[in-house]
Amino acid sequence: MKTPPVNPTGSATPEALGAFFAQCAAEARTAGRPQLVSISVVVDNLDPLAVLESIFEPGEPHFYAERPAQGFGVAGAEVAVEFTAQGARRFADAKAFIAATLANTIAVGPLAEPFAGPHFFFAAGFADEAAPGAAFPSLRLFVPRWQVARMGDSTVAVANVLVAADAPLEMLTARIWRAHAKFGAFDYSRAKQKDRPSAPRMAEEIGGSGSYQRAVAQALTEIARGDYQKVVLARALRYTTTEEFHPMGVLNHLRQRYPDCYSFSIANGKGQSFIGASPERLVRVAGGRMHTAALAGSAPRGQSASEDAAFAQGLLHSEKDLREHRLVLDSIAGRLADLGLQLEHATQPRLLGLANVHHLHTPVSASLPAEAHILDLVARLHPTPAVGGAPQEPALAAMRRLETFPRGLYAGPQGWVDHRGGGEFFVGLRSALIDGRTATAYAGAGIVAGSEPEKEFAETELKFKALLEALTQS
């Protein structure tokens, strides 16, 4: 990536910006291919979600993620460059595309600031291949035309544009200059308030009533005869309402209700959005360090302090849940073994208390060799036993056989890669695909020896209840 020592917005004239774009067009002629031009500017405090609300267009792709407890939020929309992939090498192919793109990128501005420079936003399915007619391919990444991100007290706006040798420089200059002025003094008045729809008039269990309990019972039979140790089985409920679902009407509720989770929305530009509030980080890479976590084993929250404490204490001493959690932790170590990392983690899990559920949680970190890339880690870690099972191959085969629907983006890795090879991915859990007046919600549970079909069904009902409360005004 080329980082010339210029600040095209610093002199605050369209002429300076136009001269910079002329230099970029000349570079495109020399290189023989278009250049991705990325201009970052530090701006006054902006709320990325409020910005997205103000300029939301259903016909444009967008990516939004925010984790209030960690103090960050990012939103990007429209497409400067994009790439799709499928198959077992989809993450390797994405890594190669990013490298080729960055080799032809010109980035200016305060690139040391958090979220400055070009970012590649991912929507990745659970499976390597997407089902026919799926709303999203098995992997899609894009660099947005505009991006706003906040980390702590720093807010950065980024404009990305593809500049060819014969680019219409006057038009590009005018467009970016307008965006620079807009983000320098953002006007939120364009935002159209979107209410959540009322309670659904219909909830359809995909696969039919009782199908989940039957699938769990069959999995327990297969576990007992030694086919595998654990499989994660999910349910899908399709809600239908009289009013249309709208991602902007849901997201503010999610981030306020679940500040420890990743509230997110990923739109395909065709009117469909995958939204949710995930508690699970897959992996984060920053400053030469890798951070992931084992998240498995759960219990409900109590109605009183004493009941809540009893549920939490029971979870910490549950042989079944501790065994399930250990499977995930051991899997992380095994999948990263060939990288020679020295993993650092506590010997016993801690509690992660969310608004509606307790989880067993063990953070894991390690120093990374210089050549390591976040997508190398994503490809190794996904799918973890927390969303797939163990051992992986027989568990995934059972999952495909016993579940009654394709997962799509549910439980897939969603996130971003920055221009340094770092970034962050979370697992697309506690989520729904919204499409007009329907929302298909997903929830799953880990099945191990000792699981009971009705208890696993009740666990998924708890997760659906929390999601429905966010999606609608029920």
- 230 catalytically annotated: yes
Longest dimension (CA), the chain: 74
CA distance 105 to 2: 6
Distances (CA, A) of 318 to 203, 274, 298, 443: 33, 34, 10, 22
145, 78 in Cβ contact below 8 A? yes
pLDDT tens for each residue of 27-58: 999 999 999 999 999 988 889 999 998 888 88
- 280 catalytically annotated: yes
Find the mean pLDDT for residues 307-317: 94
pLDDT tens for each residue of 98-113: 999 999 999 999 999 9
313, 294 in Cβ contact below 8 A? no
From 230, 424, 456, 459, the catalytic residue: 230
Q: What angle do CA 50, 55, 61 make, to 5 degrees?
A: 105
Find the mean pLDDT for residues 450-474: 88
Percent of the chain past pLDDT 90, that is, above it, reads 71
Find the mean pLDDT for residues 214-220: 97
Residue identified by tokens 């995909």 is 206
263, 206 in Cβ contact below 8 A? no
Say what the alpha-carbon torsion angle 274, 275, 277, 280 is, to the nearest 10 degrees.
20
CA distance 65 to 9: 27
Q: What angle do CA 384, 426, 293 make, to 5 degrees?
A: 55
Find the mean pLDDT for residues 204-232: 96
Confidence category of residue 8, pLDDT binned at 50, 70, 90: low
Residue 457, pLDDT score: 95
Helices (H) and strands (E) in the chain, counts: 11, 20
Residue identified by tokens 């935002």 is 191
Mean pLDDT of the chain: 92
410, 442 in Cβ contact below 8 A? yes
**Overall size of the chain counted in residues:** 474
Highest mean pLDDT: which range of 6-10, 251-255, 440-444:
440-444
From 53, 66, 280, 403, the catalytic residue: 280
pLDDT tens for each residue of 251-305: 988 999 899 999 999 999 999 999 999 989 999 999 899 999 988 888 989 999 9
